[in-house]
Structure 1
Amino acid sequence: MSPIIRVDVPLGDRSYPVLVGAGARHELGAVLPAGAQRAAVVTQPGIDVGVDPGVPFETFVIPDGEQAKELATIGKLCSGFARFGLTRRDVVVGVGGGVVTDVAGFAAAVYHRGVAVVHVATTLLGQIDAAVGGKTGVNLAEGKNLVGSFWQPAAVLCDTDTLATLPPRELRAGLGELAKYHFLGGDELAAERFGGESLDALPLAERVAACVAIKADVVAADETEGGRRALLNYGHTLAHALEIAGRFDLRHGEAVAIGLRYAALVARLADRIDDDRVAEHQRVLDAYELGSQLPKGVDHDEIIELFGRDKKATDGITFVLDGPRGLEVVPGVSPDLLRTALERM
Structure 2
Amino acid sequence: MASVPLRLRDHAYDVLIGPGARASLAEVVGRLGAGRAVVVSARPAEWVPDTGVETLLLPARDGERDKTLATVEALCRAFAGFGLTRSDVVVSCGGGTTTDVVGLAAALYHRGVPVVHLPTSLLAQVDAGVGGKTAVNLPDGKNLVGAYWQPSAVLCDTDYLSTLPPREMRNGYGEIARCHFIGAPDLRGLPVADQIAASVRLKARVVEADERDSGLRHVLNYGHTLGHALEKATGFALRHGEAVAIGTVFAGRLAGALGRIDEARTAEHLDVVRSYGLPTALPAETGPEALIGLMRHDKKAFGSLAFVLDGPRGAELVRDVPQDAVARVLGGMPRAPLAELVDAGTTDVTRS
Mapping of residues 46-61 of structure 1, within 5 Å: 49-61=47-59
Mapping of residues 67-78 of structure 1, within 5 Å: 67-78=65-76
Q: Does 1:252 align with 2:249?
A: no
Cα 1:48/1:255, change in 2 over 3 Å: farther
Identity, in percent, stands at 53
1:299 pairs with one of 287, 300, 304 = 287
- The question of whether the paired residues in 2 share the 8 Å contact of 1:45 and 1:64 is answered with no
- Structure 1 letter corresponding to 2:137: N
Cα 1:89/1:248, change in 2 over 3 Å: closer
Cα 1:79/1:95, change in 2 over 3 Å: same
TM-score by length of 2: 0.92
SS of the equivalent of 1:263 reads helix
- Structure 2 letter corresponding to 1:343: G
1:48 Cα deviation after fit: 5.7
- The aligned residue for residue 26 of structure 2 is 29
Cα 1:48/1:323, change in 2 over 3 Å: farther
How many residue pairs get matched? 332
1:199 pairs with one of 169, 184, 187 = 187
How far apart in 2 are the matches of 1:66 and 1:247?
9
How far apart in 2 are the matches of 1:204 and 1:222?
27
- The aligned residue for residue 43 of structure 1 is 41
- The aligned residue for residue 146 of structure 1 is 144
TM-score by length of 1: 0.94
- Give ranges in structure 2 of 5+ residues lacking alignment: 334-352
- The question of whether the paired residues in 1 share the 8 Å contact of 2:37 and 2:89 is answered with yes
- The question of whether the paired residues in 1 share the 8 Å contact of 2:42 and 2:95 is answered with no
- Structure 1 letter corresponding to 2:32: A
How far apart in 1 are the matches of 2:299 and 2:312?
25
Mapping of residues 171-250 of structure 1, within 5 Å: 171-187=169-185, 198-247=186-235, 249-250=237-238
- The aligned residue for residue 84 of structure 1 is 82
1:314 Cα deviation after fit: 1.7
SS of the equivalent of 1:153 reads coil
Deviations 1:226-247 (A, max 9, x none): 1110110000000101112234
SS of the equivalent of 1:9 reads strand
Instruction: Give 4+ residue runs of structure 1 displaced > 6 Å after superposition.
Output: none
The answer to which of 223-232 and 32-41 deviates more is 32-41
- The aligned residue for residue 277 of structure 1 is 265
The answer to which of 43-52 and 138-147 deviates more is 43-52
Deviations 1:235-284 (A, max 9, x none): 00001011122346211000000000001111111011111001111111
How far apart in 1 are the matches of 2:7 and 2:158?
23
1:62 Cα deviation after fit: 2.6
How far apart in 2 are the matches of 1:289 and 1:9?
31
How far apart in 1 are the matches of 2:62 and 2:187?
31
- The aligned residue for residue 341 of structure 1 is 329
- Give ranges in structure 1 of 5+ residues lacking alignment: 188-197
How far apart in 2 are the matches of 1:54 and 1:253?
35
- The question of whether the paired residues in 1 share the 8 Å contact of 2:41 and 2:93 is answered with yes
1:287 Cα deviation after fit: 1.4
How far apart in 2 are the matches of 1:31 and 1:298?
46
- Structure 2 letter corresponding to 1:281: H
Q: RMSD over aligned Cα, in angstroms? A: 1.3
- The aligned residue for residue 100 of structure 1 is 98
- Structure 2 letter corresponding to 1:319: F
The answer to which of 288-297 and 54-63 deviates more is 54-63
Deviations 1:167-189 (A, max 9, x none): 000000000000011112211xx
- The aligned residue for residue 20 of structure 1 is 17
SS of the equivalent of 2:283 reads coil
SS of the equivalent of 1:129 reads helix
- Structure 1 letter corresponding to 2:13: Y
1:44 Cα deviation after fit: 2.0
1:163 Cα deviation after fit: 0.7
1:46 Cα deviation after fit: 5.5
Q: Does 1:66 align with 2:64?
A: yes
How far apart in 2 are the matches of 1:64 and 1:325?
37
